[in-house]
Amino acid sequence: MKKHLFLPVILFLAFTGWTQAQNEEDALRYSQLFDAGATARSMSMGGAFGALGGDLYSIHINPAGLGVFRRSALAFTPTFMHDKTSAVYLNSYDDDIENHFSMGNAGGVWAYNTGQSEGWVNFNLGFSYAKRTDFWKNVRIRGVNDHSSMLDDFANRADGYSADELYPYGELLAYNTWLIDTVRGNPLDYETVLSQYGDQPNSTYGELQRRSIYTSGSSNEYVFAFATNYSYKLYVGGTFTIRNIQYESSMIHSEDDRTNTIYDFDYFDYRYHLRTYGNSFTGSLGTIIRPVPILRIGAAVHFPGVLRLHDSYFASIESGFDTPDQDGNKVYRDDSPNGYYDYRLTTPWRFVGSLAFQYKTYALVSLDYEFIDYRGMRLRSMDGTYDFNQENNNIRTAYRGAGNVRGGVEVTLRKYAIRAGAAYYGSPYTSGELNKNASFMAYTAGLGYRTREFSIDLGYRYMTHDENYVLYPNDQGDYAATSSDRHRVSATFTFRF
């Protein structure tokens, strides 16, 4: 059996990856966290709550923030997301949108006050669910290609193998639907339907290419936390964290002879569906120091987790031709078997340093810096059938340590608050990669109303991101330049008792 048959999703790289092999991109997808389930208050301040605490989502940044609570509380945050992604490919433009409701954050805090004003003032327990990354997204790409086809990549991958050794989720499907075939006299060399009629005057490229990608799911955290407060000057906390991954992707790649000028070729549609789910256990430790009333200094470390992931996938191709075969058929279809694979992903260390300045009860300014070394990600087989050496070496060379910077301000007048912030998520790619500049930028704002027993907060975040997407390897280096604009509106309802 060929090595790549041990892990069929490896070859999915050319079809839905963002310039790296699919498994490296899997590692990155499940390691990047974008505060998708922040409370409205923390979101509207750019997510910069590492030194502030007193907010349910702050537990996910720095668990010491749990110690800031002086009263028990329950909170939940429904969220609405609107995403528009545009793509320019071969000088053609297309776009698509996705609208999605979800519960971004929910949980509670139990505060035990010792009754002392000095020493150990309180001991708090907390639980928080938060959606850390939202995978919902729709992408549409289209363009007329006069120099290559996805069939070229199928043929190149098939070269050197006999028909019964072909990859069953790609090349074999193309072979069984007459899109690629062996060169006469050489059973290990392949050509495409676009090239095998080279003696015909109208045998050429020029097909309309379309690709649609639909992704859904999320990366979720369930955090159980403990924190304590010493004289309102030192806060210490820790968490036990369960990470949960639910990801689903459907890709349709189509090419058709829109002007009826390619000899005998009408169209083909290639479909690939991938579903991934898994869990990990990890934790974090944090502290907040308040040396003077106006200043808070925070630090936290989040330990690596080992995600145990399960992939299920299948693919199909349908092809159409101008000339029927001897049985009168002009349309052919082939489906792959259902595939499964289990593997593990070690996520990277995360370090957070924070500063906050608070002027009485009127105003505060907060800043977080988070560092993640993406080179520390590692993929491993569950059953030892695949060593992942190539993928892990690619992780070391393609990725780097990246910094995320979050900042926010809040101005309070009696029961009302107005907030604003921004966040920058650095590109994890090294300087030699196509997406070396693929950073994320977010701008936030919000309002709040608070009484002793109840508060309601509204938050808005606009996140923008540009990234280059390779449909399949080709000699011209073609890629689609994509741009995503994501709008998120959240409302947090908090009850204190």
Domain boundaries, the chain: 3-496
DSSP 399: B
CB-CB neighbours of 119 under 10 Å: 9
Q: What is the pLDDT of residue 16?
A: 39
DSSP 261: -
Q: Give the tokens for residue 88.
A: 């320019």
Residues of the chain with pLDDT > 70: what percent? 94
Mean per-residue pLDDT, 226-242: 97
Of the listed ranges 61-75, 185-199, 332-346, 471-485, the least confidently predicted one is: 185-199
Query: Sign of the C-alpha dihedral, residues 182, 188, 189, 190?
Result: positive
Q: What is the pLDDT of residue 19?
A: 34
| Residue pointed to by tokens 């000095």 | 118
Which residues 6+ apart lie within 8 Å of 267 measured at CB? 254, 255, 256, 257, 319, 320
Q: What is the pLDDT of residue 197?
A: 59
Instruction: Identify whether the C-beta of residue 28 lies closer than 8 Å to the C-beta of residue 428.
Output: yes
Q: How far is CA 273 from the centre of its chain?
A: 17
Q: Give the span between the Cα atoms of 254 and 267, in whole angstroms.
A: 7
Q: Is the pLDDT of residue 282 over 70?
A: yes
Q: What is the pLDDT of residue 17?
A: 40
Q: Give the tokens for residue 35.
A: 């505060």
pLDDT tens string 51-60: 999 999 999 9
Instruction: Identify whether the C-beta of residue 426 lies closer than 8 Å to the C-beta of residue 435.
Output: no
Q: Give the span between the Cα atoms of 320 and 330, in whole angstroms.
A: 6
pLDDT tens string 128-158: 999 999 999 999 999 999 999 999 999 999 9
| Residue pointed to by tokens 């072909």 | 166
Q: What is the pLDDT of residue 192?
A: 93
Q: What is the pLDDT of residue 14?
A: 35
What is the pLDDT of the chain when averaged over all its residues?
Answer: 92
Would you call 214 helix, strand, or coil by DSSP? strand
Q: Give the span between the Cα atoms of 203 and 196, in whole angstroms.
A: 9
Helix and strand numbers, DSSP H then E, in the chain: 7, 21
pLDDT tens string 185-225: 899 999 999 876 555 545 578 899 999 999 999 999 999 99
CA angle 402, 408, 414 (to 5 degrees): 160
Q: What is the pLDDT of residue 203?
A: 55
Predicted TM-score (pTM) of this structure: 0.90
pLDDT tens string 416-443: 999 999 999 999 999 989 999 999 999 9
Q: Which residue type, as a one-letter code, is found at position 164?
A: D
Q: Is the pLDDT of residue 285 over 90?
A: yes
Of 2.60.40.3080, 2.60.40.420, 2.140.10.10, 2.40.160.60, the CATH number of 3-496 is 2.40.160.60
